[in-house]
Chains A and B, each alone.
Chain A
Amino acid sequence: MDTQDTSLIRTAALSIGYRTKKHTNCLASDLDIGVAAGQLISVLGQNGIGKSTLLRTLTRVQPALSGQIFLQGQAIEQLNRSDLSQHLSLVLSENLPESNLSVFELVALGRQPYTNWLGTLTDKDLKAVYRSLEQTQTQHLAKMPARELSDGQRQKVLISRALAQDTPIIVLDEPTSHLDLHHTIHIFSLLKELATNHQKTIIVSTHEVNLALSLADQLWLMSPGSFIAGKTTDLIDSEALDRLFDSDLIHFDKAQKQFNIQQTH
């Protein structure tokens, strides 16, 4: 184990993609990423570029093509399932199956890595559940059936569940894809607050480029054949953002720090 390693997540020559018997589809290769604690990181790139694949690989949902991932200095494949569940929690973009779960029960499921074989909640677990409901301001929903939540409420409750899991890293896959502007901004400022005030490292893939530019500490830019990771402020000054979308229609305005539609006269 490398004790000098202070980063929460570090990758070494990581290649991601899919491998079938006949051929290998490599989406990105030679990724060397380092992530410190308390950072909000946005993964940006167009549809199909491999954002989800990267997140799935980092969370060991799918294997890397090659290279290594270290969580707090430990190689990810050497961690057992229960260790991993105390490092990483997820907020996925998939729909929840129908069930009778209440919001409280749903968030309490996040305590599973810590509860006994029957899943009994101790006082400590209850406190953690309440704290995470408070952090997302969803205490008033606790008794509600989870299936009756609105899209915005559901995302907050799912973030609560991830918080209850009490992991240094939370990974979110497009958490705002069904939300209106109001709720999108709300979720992002919540994530920013969790990163800054609660020292969580939050990795979020998103299409909300302008919001990510103003709130994220770090950006991971994915475009065909290139992967650029860096501080948001550094990347704004570079040409990297202009090359993010391979299109004549979109153009990055450094002065306004946002993407604009190219006016064709």
Chain B
Amino acid sequence: MVAYHKTYHRTFLLLLLALVLTCLLNIRIGSVYIPLDQVLSALCNGEVDKESWRAIVLDYRLPKAVTAIIVGAGLSISGLLMQTLFRNPLAGPFVLGISSGASLGVAVLILGATFLGANLAIYPATNWGIAAAACAGSFLVLTAVMIAANRVRNTMSILIIGLMFGSFTAAIISILAYFSSANALQQYLFWSFGSLGNLNWREITTLFSVFFAGTLMVVFIIKPLNSLLLGENYAESMGVNIKNVRNLTLLATSLLTGAITAFSGPIAFVGLAVPHLTKLLFSTSNHKTLVPAVAISGAIVMLICDGISQVPGSEFTLPINAITSLFGAPIIIWLLVRKRTLHY
């Protein structure tokens, strides 16, 4: 008996191959020229001509590539979850107000400090400090959104509530920024550019643990997510507890997006665009296929964006947030014009 659903083994194999290649390419690219064979032997702990190359590859480029993979995969899964839950192709990982919450936390830490008269020279915001502030901020806003969400029956209202919290926090940040020093403003602005290269292995381990927990939750909601493709009423008639699934989905998204935003800043567009790109390769709505596909594609896209932001052959590193949107926006426009419709 033939099941009329494709399995996409070949597409997955090609995608994994592409992931390995982009990962190597990503590590190869940087302001210091290192030949590919040297990169490989540094990665395999072999002989390297210059000891500094080993340090560059293992302590700077490899962590950055691993961060890019986690960030790309996590944001893309979150985007897919939100698009299915809200049955809206414009939903992304940040519709719940997570990035605005994180921004608020960081803004209060950096901008609020000068607002209260603290001297930045003796009060530098560390990675962990910023991550903690971002976590606290997104947790605060997310809790507010969740409380509101549990009081409304209509899932679409949650979307609007998330957007409202977004504008609310943006307004507070504007006011904080208005009263801040140029120094503090610059530090905040740099955080909002997003960055993949600032993490050491300990921070990456923390990020990965949260990513793993979030993804594990997603695996358990694959089946109800599929039934949600027919709408909430049908899903409920097939035995799905909508409220539980909704809460689990929101929780998984906040874990994934929250941790990523805390460590690497609000990285735009990937979560919104990658699910759409992936559905071009995999013309299915089955989340059993889509979740891993979106994760791998997201990782590839993030590695490529990071490679571009290194501006190969130069010493500049452009803000990653600008690169994702710079290339993401035209691609989505092209897709819309070509395919005319986006499905979710």
Chain A residues with a Cβ under 8 A of chain B? 59, 61, 81-82, 84-86, 88-90, 92, 94, 96-102, 104-106, 108-110, 112-113, 115, 117-119, 121, 123, 126-127, 130, 142-143, 147, 165
Question: Complex: how many Å from CA A92 to CA B286?
Answer: 22
Q: Across the interface, which residues of B come within 8 angstroms of A117, CB to CB?
A: 220, 223
Q: A110 and B238: CB pair below 8 A?
A: yes
Question: Complex: how many Å from CA A204 to CA B37?
Answer: 71
How many of chain B's residues have a CB under 8 angstroms from any CB in A?
A: 30
Q: Apart from A81-B236, A115-B223, A119-B288, what are 7 other A-B pairs with CB-CB below 8 Å?
A: A81-B240, A90-B233, A96-B231, A100-B285, A101-B285, A112-B226, A118-B223
- Residue among B5, B87, B230, B343 with the most chain A CB within 10 A? B230
Q: Across the interface, which residues of A come within 8 angstroms of B284, CB to CB?
A: 100, 102, 105
The residue from A61, A94, A102, A119 contacting B231, defined by CB atoms under 8 A apart: A94
The residue from A59, A86, A106, A123 contacting B230, defined by CB atoms under 8 A apart: A106
Q: Across the interface, which residues of A come within 8 angstroms of B337, CB to CB?
A: none
Question: Complex: how many Å from CA A110 to CA B187?
Answer: 54
Q: A104 and B5: CB pair below 8 A?
A: yes
- Residue among B1, B239, B240 with the most chain A CB within 10 A? B239
Instruction: Mark contacts of B218-231 with chain A using CB atoms, 8 A cut-off: 1 yes-contact digit, 0 otherwise.
Output: 00101100110111
Q: B87 and A97: CB pair below 8 A?
A: yes
Instruction: Mark contacts of B272-306 with chain A using CB atoms, 8 A cut-off: 1 yes-contact digit, 0 otherwise.
Output: 00000001000111101000000000000000000
Question: Complex: how many Å from CA A119 to CA B344?
Answer: 19
For the complex formed, measure the closest distance between the CB of A231 and the CB atoms of chain B, giving whole angstroms. 29
Residue of B nearest to A117 (CB): B223
Q: A97 and B236: CB pair below 8 A?
A: no
Residue of B nearest to A167 (CB): B237
Q: What are 28 pairs between A and B in contact, CB < 8 Å?
A: A59-B237, A61-B237, A81-B239, A81-B240, A82-B239, A85-B237, A90-B234, A94-B231, A97-B230, A99-B285, A99-B344, A100-B279, A100-B283, A104-B4, A104-B5, A105-B5, A106-B230, A109-B230, A109-B234, A112-B240, A113-B238, A115-B223, A117-B220, A118-B288, A121-B3, A123-B1, A127-B1, A143-B4
Chain B residues with a Cβ under 8 A of chain A? 1, 3-5, 87, 220, 222-223, 226-227, 229-231, 233-234, 236-241, 279, 283-286, 288, 341, 343-344
For the complex formed, measure the closest distance between the CB of B272 and the CB atoms of chain A, giving whole angstroms. 17
Q: B238 and A165: CB pair below 8 A?
A: yes
Q: Across the interface, which residues of B come within 8 angstroms of A59, CB to CB?
A: 237
A112 with B227: in contact, given A100-B284, A105-B5, A130-B1 (CB under 8 Å)? yes
Q: B231 and A97: CB pair below 8 A?
A: yes
Q: Across the interface, which residues of B come within 8 angstroms of A147, CB to CB?
A: 343
* Interchain residue pairs A-B with the least CB separation, the first 9: A85-B239, A104-B4, A119-B223, A100-B285, A82-B239, A97-B87, A99-B285, A112-B238, A90-B237
Question: Complex: how many Å from CA A32 to CA B134?
Answer: 59
For the complex formed, measure the closest distance between the CB of A52 and the CB atoms of chain B, giving whole angstroms. 12
Q: B223 and A61: CB pair below 8 A?
A: no
Residue of B nearest to A98 (CB): B343
Q: Across the interface, which residues of B come within 8 angstroms of A100, CB to CB?
A: 279, 283-285, 343
Q: Across the interface, which residues of B come within 8 angstroms of A92, CB to CB?
A: 231, 233-234
Question: Complex: how many Å from CA A108 to CA B223?
Answer: 12
Question: Complex: how many Å from CA A102 to CA B284?
Answer: 8
A89 with B237: in contact, given A118-B222, A119-B288 (CB under 8 Å)? yes
Question: Complex: how many Å from CA A247 to CA B241?
Answer: 44
Question: Complex: how many Å from CA A214 to CA B269?
Answer: 58
Residue of A nearest to B231 (CB): A97
Q: B1 and A109: CB pair below 8 A?
A: no
Residue of A nearest to B237 (CB): A90
- Residue among A61, A85, A99, A109 with the most chain B CB within 10 A? A99
Question: Complex: how many Å from CA A84 to CA B279?
Answer: 34
Q: Across the interface, which residues of A come within 8 angstroms of B229, CB to CB?
A: 97, 99, 101, 109
For the complex formed, measure the closest distance between the CB of B320 and the CB atoms of chain A, giving whole angstroms. 30
Question: Complex: how many Å from CA A86 to CA B3?
Answer: 23
A126 with B3: in contact, given A81-B239, A112-B239 (CB under 8 Å)? yes
